[in-house]
Structure 1
Amino acid sequence: MEASLTRALSYGLIIFIILAGKAFALPGRTSKTRADVPLDSTARSWDYAIPSHVQNGVARARFDIPTTGSKLDTGALLTLDSPQISLINSSVFDWWYFDAVSESDPRESLTVTFFTSTAAAFPWLPSNESSVLIAYLWASFTNGTVFEEYVPATIATVAGGENASSPSSGSWSSTGLSWAVSQDDLSQYETLEPHLPCGITSDTTTLEIAPHIGWVALKPDAVGQVDISVKGSRLQFQGPAYHDKNWSDQPFDKSVHSWYWGHGQIGPYSVIWFSYLALNHSSDTTYVSSYVARDGQVLVSSCNSTMLTVRPIGDPETCARYPPQGGDVPDGFHLEFDLGQEGWLKANVSGTRIAGDGKHYLRWAGKMTGEVSQSSTDQGNTAHSVESLLTGSVIYEQFVLAE
């Protein structure tokens, strides 16, 4: 990959990519060790150096934050992008995820993930790497070509907060991959409300989508501009962009039976879905999180399991079983979001595979089509109204560990 710059998210959140050029140097500052992450409080600012080796000791995870009223203050908001695990031993993971997909051709996409984990904790990382710091990049093109590359880092720095030079920044040193939020754009960063698993509640807000799984969508919907060169092929597009992070205090395969996740734009609506079955789950326990905004105004931000249904599309005897089994590769997914008084958003997603091992993990970029329907009753008669067919772009994935 040639030296290049990717503005993957608007509002000042930038990913820098220089995989074949001069690597970024570690900033000249003194940082705390990873074991000093104060997970029991909301720090006003933070600056941590994460070593590349596996750390000894018991790791703690942050799964909730203190909140006041229905809004996050600036300190709590920026803490969401900080490390959420106190140290990286062989059993935990913590990662920062960014993606963008073309609004004109969803076969074009870019994904970058900054991992702090071992392969023992997250099995899709390279097992032969000794570094717990892996920067991963995926790029897909209109001709169906998918480029995938990872680079281990020697050290990572993650910093941010109200008094920092950048509200949120990270650098996986020696990989050429980093991100940063412009201080000038902090006001816009604050106004783009993040999606937390169950929305924001007073006193304490949970960051746990399911037992032992933390998740927050810091940028539910932004505008991405991508312009990079990959092996001599240029990837240039504009479209929906997104940033979230996941973490856990135990190995991925000790928690997950399956998860369906995705985000996209459909007409004037921005959507995120997460539907999760825990390992050894009971048949009636589905953990979900749904987010729907229309023209930037949030309509739904909830973990109520009655407000979201996600089901695979395809042959129910083979590729689209539910609960799913390892090896199931559905044709797509059917989504139903309960919008309350706004009605129902029902949509189908399908796409081109852009990542995965073909059996237990798959990610796609593609199209979303659907409609919003409403019902009203007048003098005992029920009337139904349906918006015209809506379309848009989407990125989505599934993990299925059950055999």
Structure 2
Amino acid sequence: MPAYLADTPSAYRSLGLEKGVVKPSEDGLRTDPGGTTFEWWYFDTHLEDGTALVITFYTKPMLAPALPLTPMIRIDLERPDGTTIERRLTFSPDQFSASGDGCDVRIAANTFSGDLATYTIHVEDEGFTADVTLERTVPSWRPETGHMYFNDGRDTGEKLLGWVAPVPVGTVEATLTLDGVEETLRGIGYHDHNWGDAPLNQLIHNWRWGRAQVGPYSLVWCYITAEEQYGDDTIPLFLITKDGRIVADDAKSVTLSTGDRLTDDHTGKPVDKREVYEYSGPEGHYRLTLGLEQVLVRNNFIDDLEGPQREAAQAAGFDASYLRFTGSATVEQLVGEVITETHTASAIWELMYFGHAR
């Protein structure tokens, strides 16, 4: 297949990985940050008062791995009263360090470190500081080997996108200081780690990603559609945990259906008001249904560019967009066609479009 998730015994052996076991080194530096690669460590949390916080440490932009080491931090804070903070911080190469043995990433005075079980994150910028402790409550997880390969049949070789979720679900304590006012909040959090060796817009047409806590279930899902030169292949990733244990994660058992499609006015991208992920495997039959209620974020990447960069992107037909949604998530367990268990909660999920709408 032109695009696929490596899952064979030989793939595990060649990568030095063990099925179902994540080692601390898998959350360490996986690339040469000065080479033609990108890498990022991602964290998000939903806090008890309705605050949402996202923190990401980057070696460089995911769309520009040919750049030299360009350490970056992105901070997105959304408060229940509608207040938002968006910080895009860039640093010099000498302000970056990271360990290959485990997660210990430092960019100037900012840190992201942990041992799979417990993580601490510190970020600071003018007028804002966040100190976070994240405690894992379910096992660390990766989809099979976590290595997705893209091969267009040419002699350029396979391209890689790697993914591991050291903390699929965890408890969070976050101390936020904004303009001298400090408060400590608790909530539920998530951490994953990605790396690769080619611009994502050259590999992926779009992805759908989200996570949710629904009754006793925690879910993480991603549905990747490759670019046309990779056969429009799809790579589903899906994790279901219940009461702190993994109950299902076989990507081959997942199908996606959508409905009530509309076109987003700002980005021009198709958006589905309903997404249904059906999991039917040896572990059981589960259904996740997402019902879109509100678009939280609409962002055309080209709007973040200026001057010659923007002109070059326009000339190249660059059309990447990001959308974030909120709505209902319903999890059902079925036996045959009979629904034996159902739970509904609110959730946030995203749609990342690298390519033109089809």
Q: TM-score, normalised by structure 2?
A: 0.71
Aligned to 2:55: 112
The offset of 1:242, in angstroms, is: 0.6
1:119 is displaced (CA, Å) by 7.2
Query: Paired residue for 1:98, among 43, 53, 58?
Result: 43
Tell me the CA shift for residue 153 of structure 1: 2.3
In the alignment, the residues of structure 1 paired with residue 200 and residue 236 of structure 2 have an alpha-carbon distance, to the nearest angstrom, of 18
Give the alignment partner of residue 80 of structure 1, picking from 26, 30, 45.
26
User: In structure 1, the residue corresponding to 2:224 is in which secondary structure?
Assistant: strand
Partner of 1:344: 286
Q: Over aligned residue pairs, what C-alpha RMSD do you find?
A: 3.7
**Following the alignment from structure 2 to structure 1, what is the Cα–Cα distance between the partners of residues 273 and 334?**
25
Match of residue 310 from structure 2: none
Deviation at 1:97, TM superposition (A): 0.7
Q: Distance in 2 between matches of 1:98 and 1:287?
A: 23
TM alignment of 1:1-400, pairs within 5 A = 65-68=15-18, 70-72=19-21, 77-89=23-35, 91-103=36-48, 105=50, 108-118=51-61, 121=64, 132-154=70-92, 155-159=95-99, 161=101, 167-173=102-108, 176-181=109-114, 192-197=138-143, 199=144, 205-208=145-148, 212-231=160-179, 237-280=185-228, 285-304=233-252, 306-309=253-256, 311=258, 314-316=260-262, 318-319=263-264, 327-328=268-269, 330=271, 332-340=273-281, 341-350=283-292, 351-354=294-297, 356-357=299-300, 360-364=320-324, 366-376=326-336, 384-400=338-354
| Displacement after TM superposition at 1:315 (Å) | 3.3
Q: Which has the higher contact order (CA 8 A, sep 6+)?
A: 1
Secondary structure at 1:67's aligned position in 2? coil
1:361-391 per-position Cα deviation (integer Å, ceiling 9, x unaligned): 3253634331314134xxxxxx613424421
Asked if structure 2 preserves the Cα contact closer than 8 Å seen for 1:122 and 1:253, the reply is no
Measured at CA, do residues 335 and 145 of structure 1 come closer, stay the same or move farther in structure 2, by a change above 3 Å? farther
Residue pair 1:80, 1:216 contacting (<8 A) in 2 also: yes
Quick check: 2:65–2:198 contact (8 Å CA) kept in 1? Answer: no
Per-residue CA deviations over 1:211-232 (Å, capped at 9, x if unaligned) read: 5221111111111222313356
Instruction: Give the length in aligned residue pairs.
Output: 303
Equivalent residue of 1:117, what SS?
A: coil
Q: Give the fraction of aligned pairs with identical amino acids, expressed as a percent.
A: 18
Q: Which amino acid aligns with 2:261?
A: D
SS of the residue corresponding to residue 212 of structure 1 reads strand
Q: What residue in structure 1 maps to residue 356 of structure 2? A: 402
Distance 1:142 1:206, change over 3 A: closer
Q: Taking structure 1 as the reference length, what is the TM-score of the superposition? A: 0.64
Q: Deviations over 1:289-313 (max 9, x none)?
A: 1111111111112231x414164x5
**Which structure 1 segments of 5+ residues have no match?**
1-61, 162-166, 200-204, 321-325, 377-382
- Alpha-carbon contact 1:292-1:301 (below 8 Å) kept: yes
Report how far residue 394 of structure 1 moved.
3.4
2-side partners of 1:228 and 1:302: how far apart? 38
Structure 2 vs 1, CA of residues 232 and 399 (structure 1 numbering), >3 Å: closer, same or farther? Answer: farther
Change (3 A) 1:85 1:122: closer
CA distance in 2, matches of 1:169, 1:190: 17
